[in-house]
Chains A and B, each alone.
Chain A
């Protein structure tokens, strides 16, 4: 089963993504900020995909992605999730190491095809 790390300081958003992803058959791990996400990498190894919020305390999404991309470990795709359709934020996300930039709120039918695409799963639909 593919493992996805959902990083967001908002518990509601984490639960929302968890419900969508678990129903689609993925294993979800949560982290409440970038720092905790890095700790999860230490303890649980790498994941197959990262869903990353931008604005978080302690270590934000940009910081997490940069730290992730500097690590000497298998590099999996990451989706940066923002609340704003901002070109500046989008560029910042891609620079930091995101592979996709999506705007909240993300409906399941928008999220799942991208997730499946980035995980290289056969098109089941």
Chain B
């Protein structure tokens, strides 16, 4: 991909991010002008950038957004939540387009009618906010009544033509015509927009089943309400689907079909006339005037055949993609199916007339532009003539600002350059003197006269430079129309928000480059690890002890450098947790809004850094936890008030680093979790038995919510026996060697604490041997290694155990776990090698044949069909070139 496109995409993403943040801030400070300015500028920049490429939809939507923000900034309309929503929608669309551009790779965005239609619809919606609200405000201005303020808004919404509530114009003409014909023949059709709740899967709903049970749609679109996240971070259980369709069914039957989820669907009956909507490019060049005259006469005289013939003729002349052609096709269809509907036919004729009117308008606008003087500047080519004309225009300005001398000198410099460029150096005679005179008099006139005399000698009649007022009439700068009202003055110097863009001391580096560094250091560590093998061989095979020692010495040095280098690369990979946290304000806002709860979100320690992979792996679990908190933890405002708490709940997310780990805490002041309820639920679900019911401490009971198949709230029903709840969170956290801990007090709130490693790229593993093969076990999991005499292994109910320091530890043979048909081998003294691993808070002894050294490795996940293998954390390349499979003890069991 080319660097410019790269730059564009990366800058756009930053801008979209900032727009989201500013909008949320504006929600709390809806009149903050600096924020509005900043927002306008962000949108404006995005739009300007998009113009450098051929992405018409992108530019169109951004243009709409820019106009909207311009209106907000100027105070023509005020900030509102629906405005924020609309703008966020537009940004989501832009994001999705950027993703698409990125996917295509070469900067192409092949035309696609649906996308175009979506862009049009979005832009319309944005523009409607400008015109709609403007129209609403104006009549209310004479007598603003705060108490009544919201009333006109709702009425006006209800008054809106139905066409604007669902995007009929987006639907291809053929599909609309199909629906039109059916309706004319008595088949009722309806518009269905079905947006299943995000958490509907957890309520056992299957929206796809729901929609496929309907008769075959005449048109349909299945989309995502927000761009899909990358497959690696996709939450398949968060429903983002949006189904839109025209269904050949009447409203009543559809209402019945969706009776359980009326709040998730939007149903509207369609009428044939609603679908009559010419679409296509407005374009001139079609001789419509004559046709319109004939057609109107024939329509009035009721000459259907004549009207049909004239229309067919014009249709043949028009290119099918034009709006005029579309209007003609509709006219013919209406004439065929509803010959009596004269108003509709007249409307379509108006449409054709209107289409022609637009092009006339453009021509007029062009004609009104100042006529070019190019021809009048003798013997000078076009761009240069333009430069000279512009300088004449500047000299014609009647103001006298403090910077006038500089402006005059710049004009003189421009003129000199232009004439030099054109090779007409002789024309420069007298320029210096004219400039000096102008400077002396602090006026443009001397220079203007010089230009008129020298550059435009052939000029006859009108003087291009209006007689500029000489110095005798000094005009105070403030009173000058130009300086007083010039756009430059409405913005004061140095009073803007801090620049949102990265300062010059930071550089952006492509992720792939860092990954490459990471892979290289990984290879280097592997290569370095070959040296001890070499040393051993020098000694054992070749018997050169001294060389062996030297190799070991070199290894030490190399080891230190590799360590530092690895550390340095790790530093580069560090990301602040704000990378993940920044999504939360919107998530919390939207979710709370939907749940009808009031929530105050407090973010702390956003600057805390950790490895990119760790940060990224945090996103999904945190989102899950936050949703849980909002949904089940925090109470609705009434309930909170009744409990003597403030109506708005508090949700705090904090991050900090503790030695080599990052600790993230999510605290709410909601209703907390009652251990007694957990105990009962766990018992009912068969997760614990009767004995455990009594034995468990309160804290142990709370930890049960992490058990597979457990979920606290009854509405989070388990799906086909597999709980989608906190166990998913725990698994995700455990996958990056993290741990999770929960504290809760009924009535007071809940705190979840996640502890994760700062980095996860290099793993220290112990090499063990079993059945003649080597395996690795992460040192994080290893509590200790011991040798246990065979006589000390007891069998209790077919399970092997031993006693370590007074504690009974269950034992398993690795060969059994791996289904290797071989017994574990003891050493010469009849002892078994045991790796004691810690899983949660329990110890487990794994019997192996031998324990060897520990090595640093770069763990790679298993790929291909091996990826399905349970029990392995991944593989790594060793210094001697062999591959080491690394076990995941938790999964082995």
Question: Which chain B residues border A94 with CB–CB below 8 Å?
Answer: 390, 393-394, 397
Q: State in angstroms the CA–CA spacing of A82 and B614 once bound together.
A: 43
Q: Are A104 and B51 in contact (CB under 8 A)?
A: yes
Given the interface contacts A57-B496, A118-B418, A120-B421, does A95 sit within 8 Å of B3 by beta carbon? Answer: no
Question: Which chain B residues border A69 with CB–CB below 8 Å?
Answer: 403-407, 410
B interface residues, how many (CB within 8 angstroms): 62
A-contact 0/1 string along B764-775, CB 8 Å cutoff: 000000000000
Q: Are B410 and A95 in contact (CB under 8 A)?
A: no
Question: Which chain B residues border A11 with CB–CB below 8 Å?
Answer: 7, 11, 501
Question: Which chain B residues border A113 with CB–CB below 8 Å?
Answer: 382-383
Chain B binding surface SS class: helix
| Contact residues of B between 339 and 391, Cβ < 8 Å to A | 381-384, 386-387, 390-391
A interface residues, how many (CB within 8 angstroms): 58
Q: State in angstroms the CA–CA spacing of A71 and B405 once bound together.
A: 9
A-contact 0/1 string along B319-356, CB 8 Å cutoff: 00000000000000000000000000000000000000
| Contact residues of B between 461 and 499, Cβ < 8 Å to A | 482-483, 486-489, 491, 493-494, 496-497, 499
Q: State in angstroms the CA–CA spacing of A66 and B404 once bound together.
A: 9
Chain B CB within 10 Å, residue with most, of A12, A71, A74, A97: A12
Q: Are A96 and B486 in contact (CB under 8 A)?
A: yes
Given the interface contacts A57-B499, A89-B487, A118-B387, does A77 sit within 8 Å of B414 by beta carbon? Answer: yes
Q: Are B7 and A12 in contact (CB under 8 A)?
A: yes
Q: State in angstroms the CA–CA spacing of A17 and B327 once bound together.
A: 43
Q: State in angstroms the CA–CA spacing of A83 and B46 once bound together.
A: 11
Q: Are B417 and A10 in contact (CB under 8 A)?
A: no
A35 close to B (CB within 8 Å):
yes
Q: State in angstroms the CA–CA spacing of A19 and B8 once bound together.
A: 14
B-contact 0/1 string along A56-96, CB 8 Å cutoff: 11111111011111110011111000010000110110111
Q: Are B48 and A58 in contact (CB under 8 A)?
A: no
B544 close to A (CB within 8 Å):
no
A-contact 0/1 string along B11-42, CB 8 Å cutoff: 11000000000000000000000000010010
Q: State in angstroms the CA–CA spacing of A119 and B422 once bound together.
A: 11
A-contact 0/1 string along B396-420, CB 8 Å cutoff: 0101011111110111011011111
Question: Which chain A residues border B402 with CB–CB below 8 Å?
Answer: 70
Question: Which chain B residues border A19 with CB–CB below 8 Å?
Answer: 4
Given the interface contacts A10-B49, A57-B38, A70-B402, does A62 sit within 8 Å of B416 by beta carbon? Answer: no
- Kindly identify which residue among A32, A70, A76, A99 contacts B387, using a CB–CB cutoff of 8 Å: A99
Q: Are B386 and A100 in contact (CB under 8 A)?
A: yes
Q: Are B391 and A99 in contact (CB under 8 A)?
A: yes
| Contact residues of B between 494 and 511, Cβ < 8 Å to A | 494, 496-497, 499-501, 504
Residue of B nearest to A116 (CB): B421
Q: Are A83 and B494 in contact (CB under 8 A)?
A: no
Q: State in angstroms the CA–CA spacing of A54 and B494 once bound together.
A: 15
Q: Are A63 and B384 in contact (CB under 8 A)?
A: no
Q: Are A105 and B51 in contact (CB under 8 A)?
A: yes
Q: State in angstroms the CA–CA spacing of A65 and B393 once bound together.
A: 17
Q: State in angstroms the CA–CA spacing of A9 and B498 once bound together.
A: 12
Residue of A nearest to B409 (CB): A75
Residue of B nearest to A15 (CB): B7
B423 close to A (CB within 8 Å):
yes
Q: Are A77 and B417 in contact (CB under 8 A)?
A: yes
Q: Are A99 and B52 in contact (CB under 8 A)?
A: no
Q: Are B11 and A10 in contact (CB under 8 A)?
A: yes
Residue of B nearest to A57 (CB): B496
Closest Cβ–Cβ distance, residue A122 to chain B (whole Å)? 7
| Contact residues of A between 18 and 49, Cβ < 8 Å to B | 19, 32-35
Question: Which chain B residues border A123 with CB–CB below 8 Å?
Answer: 381, 421-423
Q: Are A66 and B488 in contact (CB under 8 A)?
A: yes
Closest Cβ–Cβ distance, residue B196 to chain A (whole Å)? 38
Question: Which chain A residues border B501 with CB–CB below 8 Å?
Answer: 9, 11, 32
Q: Are A120 and B383 in contact (CB under 8 A)?
A: no
Residue of A nearest to B420 (CB): A120
Q: State in angstroms the CA–CA spacing of A124 and B193 once bound together.
A: 61
Closest Cβ–Cβ distance, residue B782 to chain A (whole Å)? 49
- Kindly identify which residue among A32, A56, A97 contacts B406, using a CB–CB cutoff of 8 Å: A97
Q: Are A9 and B384 in contact (CB under 8 A)?
A: no
Q: State in angstroms the CA–CA spacing of A97 and B404 once bound together.
A: 8
B47 close to A (CB within 8 Å):
yes
Q: Are B417 and A120 in contact (CB under 8 A)?
A: yes
Q: Are B399 and A95 in contact (CB under 8 A)?
A: yes
Closest Cβ–Cβ distance, residue A2 to chain B (whole Å)? 10
Question: Which chain A residues border B417 with CB–CB below 8 Å?
Answer: 77, 117-120
Residue of A nearest to B380 (CB): A117
B170 close to A (CB within 8 Å):
no
- Kindly identify which residue among A57, A60, A65 contacts B497, using a CB–CB cutoff of 8 Å: A57
Given the interface contacts A32-B499, A95-B399, A123-B422, does A60 sit within 8 Å of B45 by beta carbon? Answer: no
Closest Cβ–Cβ distance, residue B365 to chain A (whole Å)? 10
Question: Which chain B residues border A10 with CB–CB below 8 Å?
Answer: 11, 45, 48-49
- Kindly identify which residue among A34, A97, A121 contacts B410, using a CB–CB cutoff of 8 Å: A97
Q: State in angstroms the CA–CA spacing of A117 and B394 once bound together.
A: 17
- Kindly identify which residue among B7, B406, B483, B499 contacts A70, using a CB–CB cutoff of 8 Å: B406
B44 close to A (CB within 8 Å):
yes
Given the interface contacts A10-B45, A57-B41, A69-B410, does A95 sit within 8 Å of B421 by beta carbon? Answer: no
Q: State in angstroms the CA–CA spacing of A91 and B406 once bound together.
A: 17
Q: Are B52 and A58 in contact (CB under 8 A)?
A: no
Closest Cβ–Cβ distance, residue B860 to chain A (whole Å)? 35
Residue of B nearest to A99 (CB): B414
Q: State in angstroms the CA–CA spacing of A69 and B496 once bound together.
A: 22
Q: Are B4 and A100 in contact (CB under 8 A)?
A: no
Given the interface contacts A10-B48, A13-B48, A57-B497, does A91 sit within 8 Å of B486 by beta carbon? Answer: yes
Question: Which chain B residues border A83 with CB–CB below 8 Å?
Answer: 44, 47-48, 51
Closest Cβ–Cβ distance, residue B576 to chain A (whole Å)? 21
Q: Are B487 and A122 in contact (CB under 8 A)?
A: no
Q: Are A117 and B384 in contact (CB under 8 A)?
A: yes
Q: State in angstroms the CA–CA spacing of A83 and B63 once bound together.
A: 11
Residues of A within 8 A of B (CB): 9-13, 15-16, 19, 32-35, 54-63, 65-71, 74-78, 83, 88-89, 91-92, 94-97, 99-101, 104-105, 113-114, 116-123
A-B contact pairs, 28 of them (CB 8 A): A9-B499, A10-B48, A11-B7, A12-B11, A12-B52, A34-B493, A35-B494, A54-B487, A55-B44, A55-B45, A56-B41, A58-B496, A63-B491, A71-B406, A74-B413, A75-B406, A76-B413, A83-B44, A89-B487, A91-B482, A94-B397, A95-B401, A96-B488, A105-B52, A116-B421, A117-B421, A118-B387, A122-B420
Which 10 residue pairs across A and B have the least CB separation, nearest first? A62-B488, A69-B406, A120-B417, A69-B403, A120-B420, A75-B409, A113-B383, A92-B486, A75-B410, A77-B414
